[in-house]
Structure formats: C-alpha cells, structure tokens
C-alpha cells in the first residue's frame, strides 16, 4: 500500500476550544493547518472480480470502490456514448447512524453528487465507451462502499472513484458484420488487450467547512460538528471548478464563497498532483508491489 501525506505539520496543541484555535491560529487540534489533509492511503486492484477497484483510507474514513464494465444499449439522447451508473452503500458498521435505513438518504445524496460531477463530456471520454452507435456501449457500474465514517466522506469517495477508474481495464471489442448486415460482437481473450480510461480530467471534490470566520479542508467528525455550512467544490487537475454545492443549514456570504472557491482550487491542484504520482508509482511496481487488500 502506498500513502500520501499532504503537509502534516506541527505537534498537537493544547486543549483549547476548536473554534478559538481555528480563528486565532492556522492550527487545528490535531496539529494540521487549515488547508492540510490527513494521511491518505491509496491502493488499487483490491477486488478480483471487478474491472477496476480502489480502497482509500483518509484518517478514520475508509472507502472501497469497485467498477464493473458491462455491455448495454446507449441512451436515446446520447446514442454515441456509454455512461456511468453509481450506487453507494452505507455500511451499518461504518457508523450506528447507518443502521436500518439510516444510510439510504446519505447514499442517495452522494450518488446524486457523483452524477452531477460526471454528467459532462469533459470528465470522462464517454464516446470511447461506445461500441456501435445506438446499439452497443459499455456501461460502467461504480459501486461505492463506506466501510468506516471518520469525516470528509465526499473527498475520500471522489479520490477512490478516480483511483478505481484509473485502474479499470475494459476488454477490446471488435464488431463483425456479415453479408446480411447482422453484427456480431467479439471480445478479446487477451487480458492485456484492453482499453483504459483517461482520468486526467476526472475532478476531485474538496469540501471546505466554515468554522467561525475561517474555513478548513478535510474536516474530522468533531470539526464537522462545529460547522454549520460547508461548500463542496469539484476541481480538476488544472484547477477548473466544474460544480459546487452547499451543504448544511447555515448560510455563506458571497465573500466567503469566493474565498472558499479559491482555496478549493489551490488545494485541489495539489491533491490531484499527489494522487496521480501515487497511482503511477504504484502501477510502475507491477507484480512486485505488495498488496494489502480491503481486509488489511
């Protein structure tokens, strides 16, 4: 398993209230600055019966994502494209709040947010998923499992989804047409004869929680409890904001929104660079890399 640490600095501070700490110093109770992430552990190819998979541990938040490629029919409004389907399962073991149907609303909220992020041509080349216009395409079923909830779910999930898509291999397909015009689909038997998605433009979510007059990234559960409003900013590797969403019952003034957007773009670019370095480094190890697996 490979980990990335985004500028963890300083020692734990004294037991001052969190809001006072954030307002007066660029320090938090765990020693991080307002724009610092906790340690992120990323591992890909952890589930054998998927086209691609990844596990991400962000602090005490643990996410497992599996991608399954299946053939289907293109949507009528986009006959030359494939598409992605998202399903989010909030495990009851992640937090007691998910017992029964407690996690259904959150799962739907997360899935809808992912649909918003990927509902454009710039995130993923959906045309590359088309096999035969109006007839056959690849559908990528992205399953997200929340194993443990320790704050900042949206960021961790977006990182895991991008890592799983990077790891996804789709069999190469040939369309054979006979003299009568009927078409046959032939899948390659060679596991190395596959197509891969470009994830360069796949955005990551940066969640900024407003606490007092300041805002912090990668909030813990305790920090989220102190925040009345948060801003979810979807940022590409080039720092382009693709969508935003406010969560929480509190309000945000226009000046705060602008500052949080600028912070999100700045932090997002660093997050993308670190993640891409980790993914390419892990892939370069090939079969030599030590696998931990999602039970590790």
Sequence-separated (6 or more) residues with CB below 8 Å from residue 204 = 155, 158, 159, 162, 234, 235, 268, 271, 272, 275
Nearest alpha carbon to residue 221 among 133, 160, 150: 150
- Interval 30-43: pLDDT, tens: 888 899 999 999 99
Give the pLDDT of residue 101: 62
Give the pLDDT of residue 185: 77
Give the pLDDT of residue 253: 92
Nearest alpha carbon to residue 8 among 25, 33, 29: 33
- Interval 157-216: pLDDT, tens: 999 999 999 999 998 888 777 766 677 777 777 777 888 999 999 999 999 999 988 899
**Cα–Cα–Cα angle for 58, 61, 65, rounded to 5 degrees:** 90
- Give the residue carrying structure tokens 């382009």: 240
Give the pLDDT of residue 17: 40
134 phi and psi angles, rounded to 5 deg:
70, -5
Give the pLDDT of residue 186: 77
Low-confidence ranges of the chain (pLDDT < 50): 1-24
Largest CA distance in the chain: 79
Give the pLDDT of residue 181: 67
Distance CA(162)–CA(203), nearest Å, equals 8
Kindly report the pTM of this predicted structure. 0.86
């Amino acid at each position: 398993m490979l980990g990335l640490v985004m500028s963890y600095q300083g020692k734990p501070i004294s037991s001052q209230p969190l809001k006072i700490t954030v307002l007066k110093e660029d320090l938090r109770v765990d020693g991080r600055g307002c724009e610092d992430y906790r340690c992120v552990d990323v591992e890909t190819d952890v589930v054998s019966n998927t086209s691609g998979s990844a596990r991400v541990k962000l602090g005490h938040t643990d996410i497992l994502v599996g991608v399954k490629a299946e053939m289907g029919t293109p949507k009528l409004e986009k006959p030359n494209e494939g598409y992605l389907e998202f399903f989010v399962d909030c495990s009851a073991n992640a937090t007691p709040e998910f017992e029964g149907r407690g996690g259904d609303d959150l799962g739907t909220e997360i899935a809808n947010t992912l649909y918003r992020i990927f509902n454009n041509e710039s995130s993923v080349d959906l045309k590359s998923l088309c096999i035969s216009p109006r007839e056959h395409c690849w559908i990528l079923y992205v399953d997200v499992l929340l194993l443990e909830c320790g704050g900042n779910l949206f960021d961790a999930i977006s990182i895991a989804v991008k890592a799983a898509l990077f790891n996804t291999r789709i069999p190469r397909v040939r369309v054979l047409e006979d003299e009568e015009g009927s078409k046959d689909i032939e899948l390659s038997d060679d596991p190395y004869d596959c197509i891969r998605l470009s994830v360069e433009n796949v955005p990551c979510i940066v969640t900024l929680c407003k606490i007092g007059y300041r805002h912090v990234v990668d909030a813990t559960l305790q920090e989220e409890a102190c925040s009345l409003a948060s801003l979810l900013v979807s940022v590409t590797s080039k720092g382009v904001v693709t969508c935003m969403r406010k969560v929480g019952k509190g309000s945000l003034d226009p000046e705060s929104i602008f500052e949080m957007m600028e912070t999100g773009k700045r932090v997002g670019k660093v997050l993308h660079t670190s993640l891409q370095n980790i993914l390419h480094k892990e892939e370069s190890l090939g079969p030599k890399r030590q696998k931990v697996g999602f039970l590790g």
